[in-house]
Structure 1
Amino acid sequence: MKKTLYTADSRGYANHGWLKSHHTFSFANYYNPERIHFGALRVINDDSVAGGQGFGAHPHDNMEIISIPLSGSLAHKDSTGNEEVIQTNDVQIMSAGTGLRHSEYNGSKTEAVNFLQIWVFPKERNIQPRYEQKTFDPAQRVNQWQTVVSPDKDSGGVWINQDAFFSLATLENGKSLSYSRKLEGNGLYLFVLEGEVKAAQEVLKRRDAVGLSELAELTIEATADAQLLLMEVPMELPS
């Protein structure tokens, strides 16, 4: 097993007034040569956007972009004609493919929105851009994994152009939960959204994370009520 610890306080931070953002990996003005990516996982931004504010239209290509609201709502608009609002318990994905433009604004004029913006390198380049979002029942992830992103279109999660799987769980204090790697060669990235757990011989608190490779199964024990995001991603990037 290979292990990399990503503590909450070691992340990059940017405060633009209307936007407060923590960067797990190098992004914008934050650069750390040891924090470029974890396998196919390129960006994890923990963003808080003030009411009535947001990101104006900007381009992307050849990236899988996942947004997960943690509180509040996010208004989305893109050049493929999609105009949606995503809220807590929703997951949104865009396959930027050959290229698109999109904007993301706080869906409220007064309340802040907190969401994760996650980028994953694609499996196949230059596909036709696509958009998808789904709402997930939080009751279906209590003390169990709920698949929210998957390359298997029958999994119930949103589809991703990569051999990657994202799962959410709400783990009650004192409970344990195991995760079995789905594809050999993939790595596991455990991100503690809230609470505290023990995993891979580490105590992980709110917004701490650990990246693990060469590991087939991970067991997690909650030492307080916890909310978890586990991302299984290829460790080898396409040539």
Structure 2
Amino acid sequence: MAKTILHKADTRGHANHGWLNSYHTFSFANYYNPERVHFGVLRVLNDDTVSQGMGFGAHPHENMEIISIPLEGDLEHKDSMGNTAVIRKGDIQAMSAGTGIYHSEYNRNKDEQVKFLQIWIFPNKENVTPRYDQITLNADDRYNKLQQILSPNAGDEGVWIHQDAWFHMGKFDRGFSAEYKLKKHGNGIYAFVIKGDFSVNGNVLNERDGLGIWDTDKIDITANAQDAEILLMEVPMNLN
């Protein structure tokens, strides 16, 4: 019997720093909820809005896989590996912090905000050489189907990370359904609604709701709104 945990959008942690408005699905910074520290190796799911011309100054990370999914605007990235890049909606960015990196993220526009999802995954290998990856996806490949955007395998569709995780995104017409079969036995899946409404295994999810499901080998999703968008994150449930 599949197990589930539902995180409604309005139960998330919230921090408004003026220049940054952030909603935390899991405990982060000053938000701590012992019931919501992680879902398997999924440690952070932050829903961030950055004001015009503002951003995160250089700060360190180590031994974490960090994924950024822009939803709106242009986010400029710089890091201690010498990378300077801009990520926009349609892109996905992955960093392996490994032995340690510094990076900064800024809204490069003075006239529009940036919205992006910041996701942290515990790696299955520690102290790796830091790395940076960024790709532009074809959004047509997720129309009424699930598009793979991340995997454990270099050369596979999407970016890759040091973990047995697979991410998919889909944009669906109202009433359209899809089935997702988990890639690895023992993994769970965390569904996050970016836009609109979905039913996932019979659970009704609204915009920015999250649903974790484990002890199952597949899930069924149905869009309950037009142009509904969803992110599926399949991750190992064990931290070791």
Which bin holds the TM-score, normalised by the shorter protein? over 0.9
Aligned residues: 238
SS at match of 1:188: strand
Note if 1:5 corresponds to 2:6.
yes
TM score, norm. by length of structure 2: 0.98
SS at match of 1:35: coil
Opposite residue 85 of structure 2, the aligned amino acid is: E
Aligned to 2:126: 125
Aligned to 1:235: 237
Opposite residue 100 of structure 1, the aligned amino acid is: I
Alignment of 1:1-239 (within 5 A): 1-225=2-226, 226-238=228-240
Q: Is the 8 A contact 1:15 1:21 kept in 2?
A: yes
Opposite residue 25 of structure 2, the aligned amino acid is: T
Opposite residue 148 of structure 1, the aligned amino acid is: I
- What's the CA shift for 1:201? 2.2
How many Å separate the matches in 2 of 1:66 and 1:122? 12
How many Å separate the matches in 2 of 1:186 and 1:33? 22
CA RMSD of aligned residues (A): 0.6
- What's the CA shift for 1:61? 0.1
Q: Unmatched 5+ residue regions in structure 2?
A: none
What does the per-residue CA deviation read over 1:95-148, in whole Å, with 9 as the maximum and x for residues that have no partner? 000000000001212210000000000010000000000000110100111111
How many Å separate the matches in 1 of 2:127 and 2:158? 22
TM score, norm. by length of structure 1: 0.98
What does the per-residue CA deviation read over 1:63-87, in whole Å, with 9 as the maximum and x for residues that have no partner? 0000000001100000001000000
- What's the CA shift for 1:171? 1.2
SS at match of 1:140: helix
Q: Is the 8 A contact 1:50 1:110 kept in 2?
A: no
SS at match of 2:141: helix
Q: Is the 8 A contact 1:163 1:234 kept in 2?
A: yes
Q: Is the 8 A contact 1:52 1:105 kept in 2?
A: yes
Opposite residue 33 of structure 2, the aligned amino acid is: N
SS at match of 1:143: coil
SS at match of 2:162: coil
Structure 1 residue ranges (4+ consecutive) displaced by more than 3 angstroms after TM superposition: none
Q: Is the 8 A contact 1:140 1:146 kept in 2?
A: yes
SS at match of 2:225: coil
How many Å separate the matches in 2 of 1:155 and 1:143? 21
- What's the CA shift for 1:154? 2.7
Structure 1 range deviating more: 168-177 or 146-155:
146-155
Q: Is the 8 A contact 1:147 1:155 kept in 2?
A: no
SS at match of 1:66: strand
